[in-house]
Amino acid sequence: MAEKDDDEIIEHHVCEEMEKKTNRNLDSHSFLESVTPSEKEGSSSTQSSHRLLAYSDALISIIATVMILPVSHTQIEPDKELQESLQRVLAAKIAVYLTTFLIVTVAWSAHVRLFQVIERIDDFLALLNLACMMLITFLPYTFSLMVTFQQDSFGILLFCCCAIVIGLIQAVIVVYGFDRPHLLNGQIQISENQTFYKYHILKIILRVPVFCFLAGIFSFIYTPLSYVLLGVVIFLPYITHPLKWCWAKAVGHQEEQPNGMMFYSYHPNEPLSKERIESFSDGVYAIVATLLILDICEDNVPDPSKVREEFEGNLIAALSVYGPEFLAYFGSFVTVGLLWFVHHSLFLHITKTTRLMGLLNTFSLAFIGGLPLAYQLTHEFPKNSLNELEAIQISCVIIFFAGIFQLAIWVTALFSEKETLHVYVRYGGKEHAFMFAKLALYPCVTLTTFFLTCILRRFSAQIFHLMEIIVPFAFLALRIVVRIVLALLKLVFCPSKSVHNADDDTRLPFNRVLS
Amino acid sequence: MAEKDDDEIIEHHVCEEMEKKTNRNLDSHSFLESVTPSEKEGSSSTQSSHRLLAYSDALISIIATVMILPVSHTQIEPDKELQESLQRVLAAKIAVYLTTFLIVTVAWSAHVRLFQVIERIDDFLALLNLACMMLITFLPYTFSLMVTFQQDSFGILLFCCCAIVIGLIQAVIVVYGFDRPHLLNGQIQISENQTFYKYHILKIILRVPVFCFLAGIFSFIYTPLSYVLLGVVIFLPYITHPLKWCWAKAVGHQEEQPNGMMFYSYHPNEPLSKERIESFSDGVYAIVATLLILDICEDNVPDPSKVREEFEGNLIAALSVYGPEFLAYFGSFVTVGLLWFVHHSLFLHITKTTRLMGLLNTFSLAFIGGLPLAYQLTHEFPKNSLNELEAIQISCVIIFFAGIFQLAIWVTALFSEKETLHVYVRYGGKEHAFMFAKLALYPCVTLTTFFLTCILRRFSAQIFHLMEIIVPFAFLALRIVVRIVLALLKLVFCPSKSVHNADDDTRLPFNRVLS
């Protein structure tokens, strides 16, 4: 009887521990996680922040990609050379798109960090966050005002105002969160240095409003200086760590951070919520994949009267005019879909994501945002024109870079594979080879296509379309191909070993081949 | 020593159990969930479907709301009466929007059901799902062709082709899944009736392609019949159960379904993944909230040369022309954000969602999709015109219905509260009263505004703007107000009880008041 009780107690204890673990690590939707009774008299009931963050990610991913719309709606006259029109009309808009994307992702990563510290929310924080979101969605517009009217200080003022208010709201969230410790991250909750954390985080968050305030003031006096200040604000998180490192090397001064400072450390290995990187990326991929169908649904339904007059009521003939648009849509949907598929496979194997990986992911996403535009261009010009060739090559370059940055995430993960990768996928295994093949497929194919179109200019369109058709099947056949290649490698390099336990032993020969 | 071993075994055993539980219920991102070694020779490694579904939800939510764009971009000339232009230009487009929304959500709920059966995926299924997604994103376009060219059978043919291919892909997914039982839902995996399930599900899924095939054939012979067939396909899931019920009552015939048939039963209480309803709703809310800023970013950056000529370089004066657009943006963002907030609070309290709740949620979302348009209209007309009044009243009606359907979800949940609601929020408690107040706030406020604008026509715009400003603060103050009201109710109805343990005892008096 006593033994049974003991077991029960142990069981209970272990279950409790498991439950705690579950709650902390897995972001589950269990009862305990979603709502716990309020721990303080008078405070409203706390909730899991999971859905609030998913909604914020969706909003921010839409806003990050919005500035591609003015780019893709730029009318390019087919009689001009593409290069010329690109240089004149598009270059500025593309620059705006890329910079907005960067700025919004900086805002996003600040948001991610904030809610890594504040892990639970209540109604007040949810409403504050919505206000913050509204201001973030307004950033792209202020930025495009800034670019269009470079002489006028109003754009920069508006931008600074938004950034200041966003910073202040985040500061309020931090103060509110530290006042109610049950909202905080578990690690900080049990930490002795809570006050230190609070001031450290506040110091970093308030840096942005202060710099923006200065930039706003300088915009009246000397505008270039305020641009410099804004640039510093945006890139500060990325240069702080190298600067500190240099400073420490030069002066020999050691930092006084408490051990295990995991948040707001600006170390490239600082963890960045994997779940949020995934949901932000999903949002961007989903919007980019559907960008062209949005245009098609709005603009490419022919006018009934026109169909009657010009095509004698033949709807199919009228629609065939839009053929290139549909092709572009399917091409871009398939490419974005497959790049998402690679991204999805990649993040299945990663256990922990760092700031550096987040940054590489941002670069990959920025290129993907430009994809629909590039695909649209490939079909807008007369066949075999120089324009068409260039549009195809631009598409290849964009896909290449999107793929290369995905590969870079993988390489970064490999550098600290013990922390960031699942066991079975580490360097040298079969799964590793398969993942590597998946990641390398698009860069290799587009590079080949690029050089082929350089050599065989006449058949560039055919080569490109062939590439579009082959790639999905290549992904389907990839696992088999990798298996065959590994078996061949094994036969060549270790012919002594038996073949039939190929699954377990591929690790060794593959390692040997590579080293 | 032996004792220690025992403990360890127990611990191990319990942990395993916990882990299983975690894996099955919580859709966690643990190692075991995300990738397990392949259970069959030759099959590729299986993965958690979590992210695939999130991506699909994002895609479908974008597509569901896309047809609002042609509506919102319809130019309404301010000198015409709104009602007239509404009737002529908008009515058709709004009908297209609503029907597309319905069709896409039907496709979405078929997708949800499918992946409630297939719980784990591999690369092949991921790629098949992407193909399925591509076809779903194409549905709105085929539908708008159908509506624009009602006499031409091409639109309906295209629609049928898409639906047939989608159905066939889903059938392939089901066959593939049942061939590899480790991909299936746990309940089906251990069920003895696996073959029955397989054919039951296939039968239901293949119904759609068969009906669409017939509709396609009839489109050549007698078009109205094919519309009827398509209508049957779309509404069949919703009328099957009532029909069967009637049939059973009339004939007295009993069904031969095995016990616990939880999937594809067409019962209104059939569970529909709560997580997916949430992520689909998040997608719709996020797109609707940003619809207006997309337009603003693209169209409302003034032309520098125009600013120089017309406004003498005064940017602020040039921007003030767009004032109404900005106001509309902020108004719609705040309203959509707060409706999301209510939705978020509502689904925090719900533990299990049913098909009926999903349907009500769809209706609520369909109204929310029209919100930005309504807000845009409120600012497009001259002040105190009849148009402005009507636009304001339309906005009120839209918000009212969006709120009412949210309330309906809550009421539906209350009917089977033991299964669908958390304990602490059930009928009669303080949390219940608070939730009810949250849900009732928007319907009450908009109803009041509607009637006030009917009476005080002159001040309609002021009343509306006042409403916009008050509501966010009302949400902030709601908890306090509910507390006071409950305390008052208690004082009035049970003055004998002491007040200071109000938190525990509010359940009783409130019940008494209501009954």
What is the mean pLDDT of the segment spanning A12-27?
40
pLDDT tens profile A302-327: 877 888 888 777 788 888 888 888 88
Cβ of B424 within 8 Å of Cβ of A278? The answer is no
CB atoms within 10 A of CB B309: 10
Judge whether B154 is closer than 8 Å to chain A, CB to CB. yes
Give the per-residue pLDDT at B87: 64
Give the per-residue pLDDT at B367: 92
Q: Chain A window 457-476: which residues touch B at a Cβ cutoff of 8 Å?
A: 472, 475-476
Residue carrying the six token digits 């240099």: A246
Contact of B263 with B185, CB cutoff 8 Å: yes
What is the mean pLDDT of the segment spanning A19-33?
39
User: How far lies A500's CA from each of A429, A487, B40, B41, B72, in Å?
Assistant: 17, 10, 16, 13, 64
Write the DSSP symbol of residue A303: -
Give the per-residue pLDDT at A262: 64
Cβ of A422 within 8 Å of Cβ of B35? The answer is yes
User: Going edge to edge, which strands form the sheet with A120-121?
Assistant: A35-36, A46-48, A120-121
Three-class SS state of B360: helix
pLDDT band at B21 (very low <50, low <70, confident <90, very high): very low
pLDDT tens profile B493-502: 876 654 444 4
Give the per-residue pLDDT at B76: 59
Give the per-residue pLDDT at A315: 80
- Residue partners of A513: CB distance under 8 A and separation at least 6: A489, A493
What is the mean pLDDT of the segment spanning B441-460?
90
pLDDT tens profile A130-164: 999 999 999 888 888 888 887 788 888 899 999 99
Q: Which of B21, B183, B47, B26 is nearest to A425 (CA)?
A: B47
Separation CA A33–CA A49 (nearest Å): 9
% of chain A at pLDDT higher than 90:
23
Residues of A within 8 A of B285 (CB-CB) are 55, 58
Give the per-residue pLDDT at A440: 92
Separation CA A283–CA A411 (nearest Å): 24
Rg (CA), chain B: 27
pLDDT band at B164 (very low <50, low <70, confident <90, very high): very high
CB atoms within 10 A of CB A260: 9
Between residues B239 and A101, the one the model is more confident about: A101
Give the per-residue pLDDT at B444: 93
Separation CA B381–CA A120 (nearest Å): 44
What is the mean pLDDT of the segment spanning A12-39?
40
From the number of C-beta atoms within 10 Å of its C-beta (0-12, 13-18, 19+), residue A464 rates as buried
Q: Which of B282, B283, B361, B359 is nearest to B106 (CA)?
A: B359
Of the listed ranges A386-400, B305-319, B339-353, B466-480, the least confidently predicted one is B305-319
**Helices B274-299 & A50-65, crossing angle to 10 degrees?**
30
- Which tokens sit at B141? 């376009």
Cβ of B344 within 8 Å of Cβ of A126? The answer is yes
Cβ of A293 within 8 Å of Cβ of B66? The answer is yes
Separation CA B289–CA B371 (nearest Å): 9
Of the listed ranges A170-179, A332-341, B194-203, B303-312, the least confidently predicted one is B303-312
pLDDT band at B406 (very low <50, low <70, confident <90, very high): very high
CB atoms within 10 A of CB A43: 15
What is the mean pLDDT of the segment spanning A255-274?
68
Contact of B430 with B503, CB cutoff 8 Å: yes
What is the mean pLDDT of the segment spanning A197-214?
89
Separation CA A343–CA A338 (nearest Å): 9
Rounded to a whole number of angstroms, the distance from the CA of A401 to the nearest CA of chain B is 22
- Residue partners of A149: CB distance under 8 A and separation at least 6: A155, B304, B307, B315
Size (chain A), residues? 515
pLDDT band at B18 (very low <50, low <70, confident <90, very high): very low
What is the mean pLDDT of the segment spanning B442-457?
91
- E strand or H helix at B501: none
Between residues A70 and A403, the one the model is more confident about: A403
Cβ of A301 within 8 Å of Cβ of B26? The answer is no
Contact of A422 with A408, CB cutoff 8 Å: no
Q: Chain B window 183-242: which residues touch A at a Cβ cutoff of 8 Å?
A: none
Give the per-residue pLDDT at A77: 58
Give the per-residue pLDDT at A398: 92
On average, the pLDDT of chain A sits at 79
Compare all CA atoms of chain A with the CA of B297 and give the residue at the minimum distance: A141
Three-class SS state of A344: helix
Give the per-residue pLDDT at A18: 42
Give the per-residue pLDDT at A396: 92
Q: How many CA atoms lie within 13 A of B429 on its CB side?
A: 15
Residues of B within 8 A of A59 (CB-CB) are 286, 289-290
Of the listed ranges A90-99, A179-188, A198-207, B165-174, the least confidently predicted one is A90-99
Separation CA B485–CA A308 (nearest Å): 66
Specify which residues A121 forms β-bridges with. Answer: A47
Q: Which of A14, A25, A81 is nearest to A351 (CA)?
A: A25
Write the DSSP symbol of residue B258: P
ipTM of the modeled complex: 0.83
Question: Is pTM, for the whole model, over 0.80?
Answer: yes
Compare all CA atoms of chain B with the CA of A297 and give the residue at the minimum distance: B141
pLDDT tens profile A71-111: 777 665 555 555 565 566 677 788 888 888 888 888 898 89
Compare all CA atoms of chain B with the CA of A22 and give the residue at the minimum distance: B22
Give the per-residue pLDDT at B86: 59
pLDDT tens profile A173-194: 999 999 988 888 888 888 888 8
Contact of A295 with A284, CB cutoff 8 Å: no
Of the listed ranges A405-419, B74-88, B321-335, the least confidently predicted one is B74-88
Give the per-residue pLDDT at B401: 94
From the number of C-beta atoms within 10 Å of its C-beta (0-12, 13-18, 19+), residue A49 rates as buried
pLDDT band at B260 (very low <50, low <70, confident <90, very high): low
Give the per-residue pLDDT at B38: 39
Give the per-residue pLDDT at B514: 42
Cβ of A297 within 8 Å of Cβ of B31? The answer is no
